[in-house]
Amino acid sequence: MSNTVVVGTQWGDEGKGKVVDLLTAKADMVVRFQGGNNAGHTLVVGGKQFILHIIPSGILYEGKKCLIGNGVVVDPEVLLQEIQDLKMVGKEVTPERLSLSDKAHIIMPYHKAIDLAREAAKGRHKIGTTGRGIGPCYEDKVARTGVRAVDLTEPETLEEKIGTNLKEKNFFLTKFLDAEPLELKPILDRYLGMAERLVPFITDVSLELDQGIKANKNILFEGAQGTHLDVDHGTYPFVTSSNPVAGGACAGAGIGPNQLHHVVGIVKAYTTRVGAGPFVTELVDETGDYIQERGQEFGATTGRRRRCGWLDLVVVQDSVRLNGLDSLAITKLDVLTGLERLKICVGYEFDGERVTTRPASQRKLARCTPVYMEIPGWQEDISQARRLDQLPPQTLAYLETIEEITGVSVSIISVGAGREDTILVQDPF
Ligand code: IMP
């Protein structure tokens, strides 16, 4: 038995979906432990594209158990839609295939309304959230007023909770955010209707995982977003509201730290960011456009154009420490093909001083400038490479530089969107 965690080392969108999909082949159970439908994992299987926002991508394989842990916030409408969409392509999602933690928090219409109205009120100071109600749902979780999946099994509790919450939410929406109030009855009816379809999936995920561990199953923990969007360790306040770091897998799934055996950090070969916040290696020139176009850097959830920049190893090195990374998966390496010279950020400068870790202060970070090392690029098409020795020497040098500076070896290299466009250097399981 071996359990692996996959985490993003940058600001999300590193291509975790594809790596998770690959590793799922060896896993028996696949678990989401944080975030919600702010994530969007794009997978290309047999030339067909799937975007999953909440159900672990392991669902596309036969016989793998997928679990949504207590650390996830769930929009029942989105979950049911995904179940329906999968059915349309012949993937029947039954409770044998999917479990939803009874302790997972449920995204309510007032969470989405507050998310959107608050961002609108902030104007140019907005965070650039996905508008899915993620932050407000986690706020209620911590405030101990949240609706949990288990409440969907108890209509009376559900009515009581929504009723109590609406008093406060409507006051906030109308008096502070200048938004419309919401009514109890339509929300309750809608959620009770959805509850009927969701109840069969609701169970104790921690217990189920424990049974899996005792039965020597391989478990894959699928992180969403990325380390620098972590509410504790990221570029606060331009972060999401959960803990995408590997440690989040324990609290967000209900397992002990001794059950995590290998942590894979996904490193996109360059850096991207959606939403606001400082971005030291951002490219606002034609190289940035080149990467953006070749990498098709549009958000899988919101369709927003992603900001692009050179690979920032200050960010990745922080992620090595924060997650205890055992190996790296380098993704979208093929996107860099055709660039004459490549830059890798190996440090920052702030007021003439060298900085080797990302400062906590956003003001300070905004004033950091990148210290680059430059290496030659490659012109050859690398998308057909399936072994390291099929890569040009410049590509190998790029990878070796990453390994040397981070001190972590590369286990997987992705050279294209398809499952097969991969070089497996070392199997993390
Ligand atoms: P929220 O998670 O919707 O509250 O958004 C907070 C910040 O996290 C915004 O900058 C979002 O763009 C960013 N974010 C949330 N989910 C993802 C993701 O899956 N990939 C990349 N950025 C994300």
Pocket test for ligand 1, best of 11, 107, 225 (most atoms within 8 A of CB): 225
- From the list 13, 21, 115, 151, the catalytic residue is 13
Q: Is 229 in the pocket of ligand 1 (CB under 6 A)?
A: yes
**351 catalytic residue (yes or no):** no
Report the CATH fold assignment for 266-424. Adenylosuccinate Synthetase; Chain A, domain 3 (3.90.170)
CA distances from 33 to 36, 52, 100, 101, 130 (A): 9, 15, 11, 10, 19
Report CA(228)–ligand 1 centroid distance (Å). 11
In this predicted model, what pLDDT tens digit does every residue of 154-184 receive, in sequence order? 999 999 999 999 999 999 999 999 999 999 9
User: Is the shortest distance between the CB of 36 and ligand 1 below 6 Å?
Assistant: no
The yes-or-no verdict on residue 43 having pLDDT over 80 is: no
Cis peptide before 392 (omega within 30 of 0): no
In ligand 1, the atom with minimum distance to the C-alpha of 132 is 3
Q: 252 falls in which pLDDT band (50, 70, 90)?
A: very high
Ligand 1: which of 51, 130, 271 to mutate, most ligand atoms within 8 Å of CB?
Answer: 130
Closest protein CA for atom 20 of ligand 1 = 12
The CATH label, of 1.20.1260.10, 3.40.50.300, 3.40.309.10, 3.40.440.10, for the domain at 3-101+210-262 is 3.40.440.10
Would residue 105 show up in a list of annotated catalytic residues for this protein? no
CA of 260 to the centre of ligand 1 (A): 25
What is the average per-residue pLDDT within 49-77? 93
For ligand 1, what atom is nearest to the CA of residue 35? Answer: 2
Which pLDDT band, with edges at 50, 70 and 90, does 67 fall under? very high
Q: How confident is the model at residue 197 (pLDDT cuts 50, 70, 90)?
A: very high
Q: Are 223 and 69 in contact (CB under 8 A)?
A: no
Check: CB of residue 34 under 8 Å from CB of residue 234: no
Please give the distance, rounded to the nearest whole angstrom, from the Cα atom of residue 311 to the centre of ligand 1. Answer: 20
- Its CATH class, for the domain covering 105-198, is mainly alpha
Report the chain's C-alpha Rg in angstroms: 22
- What amino acid occupies position 409? S
Contacts of 393 (CB under 8 A, 6+ apart): none
Query: Whole-prediction pTM value?
Result: 0.95
Average pLDDT over residues 314-328: 98
Q: From the alpha carbon of 274, which atom of ligand 1 is closest? A: 12
**Per-residue pLDDT reduced to its tens digit, 128-141:** 999 999 999 999 99
Across the chain, mean pLDDT equals 95
Give the model's confidence band at 423: pLDDT under 50 very low, under 70 low, under 90 confident, else very high: very high
CA of 30 to the centre of ligand 1 (A): 22
Q: Please check the confidence at residue 369 and state whether its pLDDT lies above 80.
A: yes
- What is the reported pLDDT for 46? 66
CA of 239 to the centre of ligand 1 (A): 7
Compute the average pLDDT of residues 292-311: 90
Domain edges within the chain: 3-101+210-262, 105-198, 266-424
Average pLDDT of the segment spanning 21-46: 89
Atom of ligand 1 nearest to the CA of 276: 10
* pLDDT-based confidence at residue 38 (cuts at 50, 70, 90): very high
What is the share, in percent, of the chain residues with pLDDT greater than 70? 100
Quick one: average pLDDT of 315-320?
Answer: 98
> Quick one: pLDDT band at residue 58, thresholds 50, 70, 90?
confident
